[in-house]
A and B are shown apart, each in its own frame.
Chain A
Amino acid sequence: MTLLGVEGIVKNYGGIQALRNCTMNFQEGAINGLIGPNGSGKTTLFNVMTGYETPDSGKVTFRGKDITNSTPDEVFAAGIGRTFQLTRIFPRLTVIENVHIAAQRKGLVAQMRQWSQPDERARALESLDFVGLTKLSREPAGSLSYGQQKLLEFAFIMVAEPKVMLLDEPAGGVNPTLLKHLGGRIKELNKTGVTFIIVEHDMEFVMGICDQVSVMHQGSALIEGKPEIVRNDPAVLEAYLGTDMTEVN
């Protein structure tokens, strides 16, 4: 069943058409991969889906509801979390503070209470445990290594228990051990029902972890399907000019 979908999205920047009549559907409960050559519009699509950009035309739906013009905080509150290509964490705050930011609270009075309530703290530590950063909880996030920051980003999105997690190049710049660890975390979280949409260039990673792969090319969807089918599709090979795909094959 489609959880998150885009329909006919068009997005132009000056003379550049980043997204051209892009229509895609991402299955609930699955780990969806989103691949495509550089410049095919993957990050732009993410931006449109999460409210960072408004499309010139087209629709974004989440569970049937139209969220095209939602702001980033509304998108997050609806249950869609995302990471960024260049990790964005809060460098001057400690790791544990970082993880608390995503903890949602309702009501004015609640906002004024101490920033770490017992249940929030428990969830925060749980997330940190899950990614393996508990020992660093009191360190300023800015002092973490790049790979650790990626894990931190993962952790603080988890805290809000999103229904969908959009990961933008999670493997970028990460060493193989950490990557395997991350992949394991993704699979485990997926078992609890979290849907994933992962933009990636690392074909091995994508093919190894995704149930469903969508390929983008020049701003629109090229093909969607199971990894084995997609990797052998001639159109996809052509789009990539044979570089990444043949290496994996």
Chain B
Amino acid sequence: MSTDTTISQRPTPPSYEVPKVIRFGALAVGFLVLVLFPLVFNNPTISTIGVFAMIFLMAVTGWNIFSGYTGYIALGHAVFFGIGQYATAMLASYWQIPPGWETFLLIPVSMFLAGLAAIPIGLIVLRVRKHTFIVLTIALMFIFQLFAYNLRGWTGGSQGLEVSQPPWDGSIFNLPYYYVGLFLAIVAIISSFMIRRSKFGLSLLAIRDDEDRARSLGINTRNSKLTAFVISAIFLGAAGCMYAMFVGSVYPQFSFDPAFDLELSIMAFAGGLGTILGPSLGALIISGAQQYFLITFGGANVFLIVYGALFILILRLLPGGVVPAISDKWRSHVVRKEQRILDSELEGPAEAGAHK
């Protein structure tokens, strides 16, 4: 009896996944790059790009936990971004927090408040079907924007609110923001990973594929969706807080901004909606490009054109995103390799036929 087995005799199919070694390697390299980035490129303009990239990273990963996993594309999540911003600005002045390290304590507070707000909001918007949901979240965001404009006593109306900037030296000003942002982004990614691995995550994916079917198998879809909604809101609140602290001012049109939601969705789609790392990849690439555009061309309107055109292209050509495209390529690579081996075995020595 022959001791080596041919492919056709293998009991289980080969793994089509990218080998763990490569995956961990890539992750480790990525992590190192991100940690060392502002130290290597210590030009404040460049590290500013980094800070915004971190803010978007945590926001998109958080957004993906809800929209990517459940398939309910929430185009109004800027609500929680704005809540984070306004909470930070209002509490910083109300509690008389001195600018500097203490302001960072507002991050967990903003996260808590955003999460808290997400409960009633979620209960309302999650009652409707997917397409109404999308539209409803957009309407909701406009409501908040209007509130921000109108409740002048609290929000400063169109004048906005200020968050005092810490008196740090210009050359290292960005560093604390960057590293805190990186930390939060990593927390977001780890949360996303743990959710994806859990039964809860599987329930979310089932909801994405066929919500009613999931219900018929015992999944409490309402609670699952709400939980994911609240978790994602928490990360958006954190992003809002960081944004308010870093930029120093909070305005209605930039806190509750439809363009922000558009950016979130492009980043998630481009990277790979529903994957763990895809949105992060998309965030890094696109926010980097965005900042570059702003610096080179100024003016938001050119960027709108680019965003719009880019999104249309992505939706047409690569609706799955980069990460799934990579795993698809890997899969076809493995299949082709197997096919070649199989072909060579079939053409092999005549004994192969005799053994049968």
Contact = CB atoms under 8 A, between A and B. Distances in A.
Interface stretch (A20-28, A98-106, A213-221): A98-106
A105 B221 CA distance: 14
Interface string B210-225: 1011111111110000
- What's the interface size class on A, roughly? 35 or more
A248 interface: no
Interface in B208-266: 208-210, 212-221
Interface string B175-213: 000000000000000000011011111110110111011
Contact of B197 (A88, A114, A138): A114
> B interface, how many residues as a size bin?
20 to 34
A68 interface: no
Contact of B206 (A50, A93, A104): A93
A112 B205 contact: no
B13 interface: yes
A90 B206 contact: yes
Of the listed residues B13, B203, B216, the one surrounded by the most CB atoms of chain A closer than 10 A to its CB is B216
A101 B212 contact: no
Contacts of A112: 194-195, 198-200
B215 A73 contact: yes
Contact of A90 (B194, B201, B209): B209
Interface in A79-129: 81-82, 84, 88-93, 97, 100-105, 110-115
Interface string B140-183: 00000000000000000000000000000000000000000000
Interface in A29-50: 50
Contacts of B202: 93, 97, 100-101, 115
Contacts of A160: 217-218
Contacts of B16: 138
Contacts of B203: 101, 111
A72 interface: yes
Contacts of A92: 205, 208-209
A75 to B, nearest CB: 8
Could you say which of A77, A89, A112 has the most chain B C-beta atoms within 10 Å of its C-beta?
Answer: A112
Contacts of B201: 115
Contacts of A93: 202, 205-206, 209
A157 B343 CA distance: 40
Contacts of A110: 199
29 contacts: A52-B212, A71-B215, A72-B216, A73-B218, A76-B216, A81-B217, A82-B216, A84-B213, A89-B210, A90-B209, A90-B210, A90-B213, A92-B208, A93-B209, A100-B199, A101-B219, A102-B218, A104-B218, A110-B199, A111-B199, A112-B194, A112-B195, A112-B198, A112-B199, A113-B198, A115-B202, A135-B13, A156-B217, A157-B217
Top-6 shortest CB links A-B: A90-B209, A115-B202, A88-B213, A72-B215, A76-B218, A111-B200
Interface of B: 13, 16, 194-195, 197-203, 205-206, 208-210, 212-221
Given A82-B216, A111-B199, 14 more contacts: A73-B218, A73-B221, A76-B216, A76-B218, A81-B217, A91-B209, A92-B205, A93-B209, A100-B202, A110-B199, A111-B200, A111-B203, A138-B13, A156-B217
Interface of A: 50, 52, 71-73, 75-77, 81-82, 84, 88-93, 97, 100-105, 110-115, 135, 138, 156-157, 160
